[in-house]
Structure 1
Amino acid sequence: MKENKVVLTRKIQLLIHSEDPAVKRQTRETFWRWQRMVHRAANFIYTHQFIQEQVKDLFYFTDEVRVRLADIKKDKDGILTMSQLGTTYQLLSRYFKGQMPMSILGCLNKILVFSFGKERDRLWKGERSLRSFRRDIPMPIAPQDLRQIKLEDGGRFYTCQIFGHTFRLYFGKRVVTSGRSGKPP
Structure 2
Amino acid sequence: MKKLKLFTFTTICSFVIAGFYYVYLFKPDRVVVANAEWSIDITDKNQVVDTAENVFVGTVLEQKDLVEDEIGVYTPFLIKVDSNLKGEIETEEVLIAQRIGYDNQQKALVKWTENDQFLEVGNSYVFSVTYDDQENIYRIIAPEYGNVKVKDKKEKKMDSLKIEEYKEVVEN
TM-score (norm 2): 0.24
More helix by share: 1
More strand by share: 2
TM-score (norm 1): 0.23
Q: Which has the higher contact order (CA 8 A, sep 6+)?
A: 1
